[in-house]
Structure 1
């Protein structure tokens, strides 16, 4: 089935700009208090937890969710502004971001009422962190090849197997995981997967940290050994989670976080080159800014479609594909443009340090949230090309 691609030219309304001013003031105050350093944003867990609660007090977590669950019923465009400002400032959002971006909307749509009443208000207050259990060893980004098994027993399900590249699992309270409950059929290899809400404190769960060449340790191998999950923790349709997973990824793939992860390279480059760039630097920066503006317009358009209750899966895949390729290339291009800078430039050392970090994290950007190859398969299918 083909879809008609749409990127409506949506503009942020004035009240969103007022919100932006408020968020910037809040973040400036947090930086002044020493909560985090935008140049070195790694925050200790206690500081990140406290920051998460203060963001919750502002009403900036679960902004679009129903008020009966603690949400604000504000627009996706307002949420977009908060996300954009947090990302540009390198704020320590890991504690609440996955819950806000996709776990909460998934629970609202598919979980039973008791779970909604229990978890969603706590998520809104910034008290509960989530991770996503999709990828597995040996299957890469092919979610439908998942083998970690959930076996039905009296009163619940036993889970055995391994998930990998699970960001922040070691500090998360819950996971929404994709597990094999039946074998795929010849007609439908997507059949047989079910989503479960997993309490990460359940006996039998072990998180093994995976070091990255950047020095970060946020990825995990999560091992499940006879982990008992109650029946009421099934999220949505048994054996039909692939339908949920694809719509859930529209939330994950389209936001400004999908092209702003290395944004600091551009801001530091502009600062280093200064107000009188030569022709080469001016052309290079102008091209990068024009590309960034285009990505932002596309991303805002997807936020507008989410606001309208649509599921722009293909458009989100396009934003993610183009966005991660751009942010992956940005540190390399910034280094090229900075090649002839004087070592006496006021922020030369900061620029070099940030570029060294971004160059190390760049390889993962076109993998997380769906590889370039997977995304282009989704796009091709949506266009009727496969």
Structure 2
């Protein structure tokens, strides 16, 4: 278990991040935006964070980490999201792939991959969803078959954010078809420049490109690139999803919109309806931040808080959408351009409740926990 952070450590980290993001923003090196952890990619910014020990914060020092707590990491991620900073280059690798490899990967795989994540050099995308296996992740059809020196991968992934810029892909593939669909799944680390890997862009409604399709045609993956046990991927991926669902990005994707709403409320101090609405949103945000803190504390205790993370994501997604709706109701955004803070958030919002698991999946996880209580 990691020790509890000192009383001043989180405050000092917040000041450090606020200073850095203000310097980059004021120098015109980035423009704050909603959904920055998926859509705002700047490898140089990620490397700058890495040089300051603000990536891989919870990783062991021997693998380039800082040995800090998840609570301290939460303080940093909150500030980066609040600033709308360009963090997409390192977010996936830092958030879930590094921790998964540290928990389940071989010593050799840890030494090969984790220090590169910590340095901001390894850029990961997620090879989970498929055309017929989105929220029903256990239905993946991408296969991995034994081959000389490793495994041959064939299949098709979709909605893969930043695959066109990634150096590696985390891949969930089926290595055994003989059992139930939750059995026979295995996790791999695959080089994006390997022979047989191809990427096709998917352009969204705003004309923006961060989604992709990724195809694998007889891609050879070395045997040591398996994460954990062959066939044990389902248990591991469920645990990994607690890292994915339980962070501040499930609450603060639309935070720049909330900033605009706060400014509008200050201009309309006599509008009681708006003040009441804003007060409700701020109260909900306080509760959600507390949930984020509880998830981080559970992770520091060595737990995989699957149900808590599902609850946070379900409630956080609703909050993010309600923030956007609240600004729309003020009438300020009737002529908002697609690239405005409001326009960006509105176009991204349909994905809030899908990525990382649809609402029905999350409610199922929560209900199972309630049934055990």
Q: TM-score, normalised by structure 2?
A: 0.93
Q: Which residue of 2 aligns with 1:298?
A: 291
- In 1, the alpha carbon distance for the partners of 2:128 and 2:34 equals 29
Q: Deviations over 1:302-333 (max 9, x none)?
A: 11111111111100000011101211232112
Cα displacement (A) at 1:37: 1.1
Unaligned runs of 5+ in 2: none
- In 2, the alpha carbon distance for the partners of 1:12 and 1:351 equals 43
Q: Which residue of 1 aligns with 2:358?
A: 371
Corresponding residue SS for 1:179:
strand
Q: Is the 8 A contact 2:34 2:254 kept in 1?
A: no
Following superposition of structure 1 onto structure 2, how do residues 249-268 of structure 1 map, counting pairs within 5 Å?
Answer: 249-268=241-260
Q: Is the 8 A contact 2:56 2:118 kept in 1?
A: yes
- In 1, the alpha carbon distance for the partners of 2:262 and 2:337 equals 12
Give the counterpart of 2:96 among 102, 106, 128.
102
The structure-2 alpha-carbon separation of the partners of 1:100 and 1:216, relative to structure 1 and needing over 3 Å to count, comes to: same
Q: TM-score, normalised by structure 1?
A: 0.90
- In 2, the alpha carbon distance for the partners of 1:355 and 1:332 equals 10
Q: Which residue of 2 aligns with 1:7?
A: none
- In 2, the alpha carbon distance for the partners of 1:93 and 1:342 equals 26
- In 2, the alpha carbon distance for the partners of 1:144 and 1:154 equals 27
Is 1:69 aligned to residue 56 of structure 2? Answer: no
Is 1:26 aligned to residue 15 of structure 2? Answer: no
Following superposition of structure 1 onto structure 2, how do residues 307-326 of structure 1 map, counting pairs within 5 Å?
Answer: 307-326=300-319
Cα displacement (A) at 1:342: 11
Corresponding residue SS for 1:162:
strand
Following superposition of structure 1 onto structure 2, how do residues 81-100 of structure 1 map, counting pairs within 5 Å?
Answer: 81-100=75-94
Q: Is the 8 A contact 1:203 1:227 kept in 2?
A: yes
Cα displacement (A) at 1:74: 0.6
Corresponding residue SS for 1:168:
coil
Q: Deviations over 1:286-307 (max 9, x none)?
A: 0111111111111111111111
Q: Is the 8 A contact 2:101 2:227 kept in 1?
A: yes
Cα displacement (A) at 1:350: 8.4
Is 1:381 aligned to residue 373 of structure 2? Answer: no
- In 1, the alpha carbon distance for the partners of 2:173 and 2:333 equals 54
Cα displacement (A) at 1:13: 3.4
Following superposition of structure 1 onto structure 2, how do residues 15-164 of structure 1 map, counting pairs within 5 Å?
Answer: 15-39=9-33, 48-164=42-158
- In 2, the alpha carbon distance for the partners of 1:90 and 1:263 equals 8
- In 2, the alpha carbon distance for the partners of 1:321 and 1:301 equals 16
Cα displacement (A) at 1:12: 8.8
Q: Which residue of 2 aligns with 1:359?
A: 346
- Aligned-residue Cα RMSD (Å) equals 2.5
Give the counterpart of 1:179 among 173, 178, 201.
173
- In 1, the alpha carbon distance for the partners of 2:88 and 2:293 equals 22
Q: Is the 8 A contact 1:194 1:238 kept in 2?
A: yes
Q: Is the 8 A contact 1:61 1:124 kept in 2?
A: yes
What number of residue pairs does the alignment pair up? Answer: 368
Cα displacement (A) at 1:40: 8.2
Following superposition of structure 1 onto structure 2, how do residues 258-297 of structure 1 map, counting pairs within 5 Å?
Answer: 258-274=250-266, 276-297=269-290
The structure-2 alpha-carbon separation of the partners of 1:179 and 1:87, relative to structure 1 and needing over 3 Å to count, comes to: same
Q: Is the 8 A contact 1:214 1:361 kept in 2?
A: no
Q: Which residue of 2 aligns with 1:3?
A: none
Cα displacement (A) at 1:211: 1.0
Q: Deviations over 1:275-295 (max 9, x none)?
A: 524211110100111111111
The structure-2 alpha-carbon separation of the partners of 1:103 and 1:34, relative to structure 1 and needing over 3 Å to count, comes to: same
The structure-2 alpha-carbon separation of the partners of 1:98 and 1:47, relative to structure 1 and needing over 3 Å to count, comes to: closer
Cα displacement (A) at 1:349: 6.1
Q: Deviations over 1:172-192 (max 9, x none)?
A: 11111100101152xx43101
